Structure 1
Amino acid sequence: MTIKEIQNELIEDFSFFEDWMSKYEYIIQLGKELPLINEAYKTDDLLIKGCQSRVWLHADYQDGKVVFTADSDAIITKGLVSLMIKVLSNQQPKDIVNSELYFIDEIGLKEHLSPTRANGLVSMVKQMKLYAMALSAKV
């Protein structure tokens, strides 16, 4: 699936929820389903700068695609990083770098996050795009 198709699917998924409590529960559920990052990658150099909570993000290059794994010590943040991985993992570096992540606004996420969480989300996206850029340079 393309980044655009995944975003459209997420927008549709979120449209089923009546209120933000239900949407938060869904985000938390996604966080619980996040494949665990290898403990070896839970190092300070893999922490995302700008996140209030601790978020570790690792990128790997497999078969021409970037594969992200992550973890966080905060349940909502873990859900947010899980959303980003759902959209950007297993995609080609150039597609990640050029992606326009409109689903964040479409599902109303930005306006329902505290300013520090919203900043953290921006930092997450920035870091994922930087990893994709670095990995595409290696190819």
Structure 2
Amino acid sequence: MAQPAFENIVEDFEFLEDWEDRYRYVIEQGKAMEPLDDALKVPATKVDGCASQVWLHPRIEGGVFAFDGESDAMIVRGLIAVLRALYNDLPVGEVPQVDAAGELARLGLNDHLSAQRSNGLRAMITRIREVAAAAAAA
């Protein structure tokens, strides 16, 4: 079961009939995020494998995982917001167990993102899982 914030996105997508509206919705989700502090845009937080510039800054407090992110591309910033809805506030040990591909398939994103965007999305998911798995093992 996905996080309530992600379930809200799934429900909203069901009401949006065409993909232009869905893209606008994803972009709006990204615009609603607080910008990532420039001091956090460093090589250690940069995600390789993305066509655009992407930074993810994870936080683990009290065994709970969360992250903030930023991208120079509006749609990617929106995808970061979608991933935050999927992963934020989970116990750190549960993060690697999330079937991100299955959950995102509920939105139909796989069929509507370019190959480069899909690769970048996978790179972000991989980074999130790696950070959470390392924190859970520590």
**Is TM more than 0.5 here?**
yes
14-23 vs 61-70, greater mean Cα deviation: 61-70
- How many Å separate the matches in 2 of 1:50 and 1:35? 24
- How many Å separate the matches in 1 of 2:91 and 2:3? 13
> In the alignment, which residue of structure 2 is the partner of 1:46?
45
Shift of 1:5: 4.3
> In the alignment, which residue of structure 2 is the partner of 1:122?
122
> In the alignment, which residue of structure 2 is the partner of 1:132?
132
Shift of 1:8: 3.3
Shift of 1:37: 1.8
SS of the residue 1:119 aligns to: helix
> In the alignment, which residue of structure 2 is the partner of 1:104?
104
* Structure 2 residue identity aligned to 1:106: R
Structure 1 runs of 4+ with >4 Å offset? none
Does structure 2 retain, via aligned residues, the 8 Å contact 1:50–1:123? yes
Structure 1 unaligned blocks of 5 or more? none
SS of the residue 2:8 aligns to: helix
Shift of 1:43: 0.7
| Count of residues in Structure 1 that have an aligned counterpart in Structure 2 | 137
Does structure 2 retain, via aligned residues, the 8 Å contact 1:58–1:69? yes
> In the alignment, which residue of structure 1 is the partner of 2:89?
90
Shift of 1:4: 5.0
Task: Return the TM-score normalized by structure 2.
Answer: 0.92
- How many Å separate the matches in 2 of 1:5 and 1:71? 22
Structure 2 unaligned blocks of 5 or more? none
Task: Return the TM-score normalized by structure 1.
Answer: 0.92
- How many Å separate the matches in 2 of 1:6 and 1:91? 12
Percent identity among equivalent residues? 31
Q: CA RMSD in A?
A: 1.4
Shift of 1:12: 1.3
Shift of 1:35: 2.2
